[in-house]
Chain A
Amino acid sequence: MTLPDSKRYARQIKLPQIGTPGQKKLAAARVLIAGAGGLGSLSSLYLAAAGVGHLIIVDKDRVELSNLNRQLLHSETSLGKPKALSASHRLGQLNSKIKITPIQVKIDRKNIDDLLKEVDLVVDGCDNYPTRQILNRGCLHHKLPWIFGGVQGFDGMITSFVPNSSVCFECIIQDHPATKLRDNGILGATAGIIASIQAMEAIKLLLDLGTPLTNRLMQICGLDMRITTAALTANPDCKACSPIKKN
């Protein structure tokens, strides 16, 4: 590690759980951020600041004015630009020493395998069920951990999925014909809270620290500041992970 790097990351290298070996691990890590919206903005900023060596930012959309209350990667000067590029630019300003790969595509069944190649971990920043289902199947197939986050209004939820050691996304939220996003608005800070926890989970999983939020679903109700954590048990009827567990 170079001297400037050890200075940049000094406050986290000081943590005995991280130290120089942990920092080197972060530098070697490759994390895919699925969506550069409210969640992906904050989680990628924290991961870039922490020195995760390679961030892959995937988003198909362009920056709109209504994004700016919560999507802090973007600014007025990036209106109309692809979010992946805007994100890459901002993250590069924050940390020019890491590699950032912007990819402007919609995550689908055809490209998921390519996107997950050589990735160590995925951080969810999606805004819909079908894309998360594709991520879930891809991560199960590639045996990759991914960190689910979801937000709406003042509320958010989060859990970490680790293939073979936890329930999966489709164990706890099943597809339904009525699946559609309730577009009821969102406070920027809601996304900030959940994304910050996602970033912490990502670093913990990359460095094998502490107790990850696997098999536990945390929900935060911002209006009355209630935080609940529910224990998740395996769903033997899960269509996504049950066949994998049986093999």
Chain B
Amino acid sequence: MIIQFNGLQETIPRDLNIRQLIKFFDEGDPHLIVEQNARYIYPKDYDTCMVMENDEIEFINPNLGG
């Protein structure tokens, strides 16, 4: 299915939750911030939060420099 991932159209398998999506994109940042349809997703919800067709997903690597 198709989602908007970090502003780009991406094809991903169906029935993925957020944790599986993180694995799918091979993201390893321990501070990763995930937004789904402009809403922050807490890590505790990664397993229950499903990715749906046309979702807008942002993976944000927090910027901690100053």
Instruction: List A residues at the B interface (Cβ < 8 Å).
Output: 35, 37-40, 124-129, 132, 149-153, 155-157, 172-174, 176-179, 181, 183, 186, 191, 217, 219, 221, 224, 226, 228-233, 235, 237
B13 contacts the other chain (CB 8 A): no
Evaluate contact between A231 and B30: CB separation under 8 angstroms.
no
Residues from chain B with Cβ under 8 Å of A124 in the complex: 66
Evaluate contact between B64 and A228: CB separation under 8 angstroms.
no
- CB proximity of A49 to chain B, nearest CB, Å: 20
B33 contacts the other chain (CB 8 A): yes
Residue tally, chain B, CB below 8 Å to A: 19
Instruction: List B residues at the A interface (Cβ < 8 Å).
Output: 7, 30-31, 33, 35, 38-40, 42-44, 58, 60-66
Residues from chain B with Cβ under 8 Å of A155 in the complex: 63
- CB proximity of A100 to chain B, nearest CB, Å: 19
Residue from A40, A127, A178, A217 within 8 A of B64 (CB atoms): A127
Residue from A39, A128, A156, A232 within 8 A of B40 (CB atoms): A232
Q: What is the predominant secondary structure among interface residues of chain A facing chain B?
A: mixed
Give the complex CA separation of A38 and B33 in angstroms: 23
Give the complex CA separation of A197 and B30 in angstroms: 27
Evaluate contact between A151 and B66: CB separation under 8 angstroms.
yes
Evaluate contact between B38 and A229: CB separation under 8 angstroms.
yes
Evaluate contact between A179 and B31: CB separation under 8 angstroms.
yes
Evaluate contact between B40 and A217: CB separation under 8 angstroms.
yes
Give the complex CA separation of A153 and B60 in angstroms: 13
Give the complex CA separation of A64 and B44 in angstroms: 42
- CB proximity of A245 to chain B, nearest CB, Å: 15
Give the complex CA separation of A179 and B31 in angstroms: 8
Contact of A217 with B65 at beta-carbon distance under 8 Å, contacts A228-B58, A235-B42 already known: no
Contact of A231 with B64 at beta-carbon distance under 8 Å, contacts A173-B31, A176-B30, A176-B31 already known: no
Give the complex CA separation of A128 and B64 in angstroms: 6
Evaluate contact between B66 and A127: CB separation under 8 angstroms.
yes
Q: Which residue of A lies closest to B7 (CB)?
A: A226
Residues from chain B with Cβ under 8 Å of A191 in the complex: 66
Residue from B30, B35, B43, B44 within 8 A of A230 (CB atoms): B35
Give the complex CA separation of A126 and B66 in angstroms: 5
Contact of A179 with B62 at beta-carbon distance under 8 Å, contacts A230-B40, A232-B40 already known: no
Interface centre among A132, A181, A219, A226 (most CB of B within 10 A): A219
Residue from B30, B31, B43, B63 within 8 A of A156 (CB atoms): B63
Give the complex CA separation of A235 and B65 in angstroms: 24
Residues from chain A with Cβ under 8 Å of B40 in the complex: 172, 217, 230-233
Residues from chain B with Cβ under 8 Å of A233 in the complex: 39-40, 42
Residue from B7, B33, B44 within 8 A of A217 (CB atoms): B33
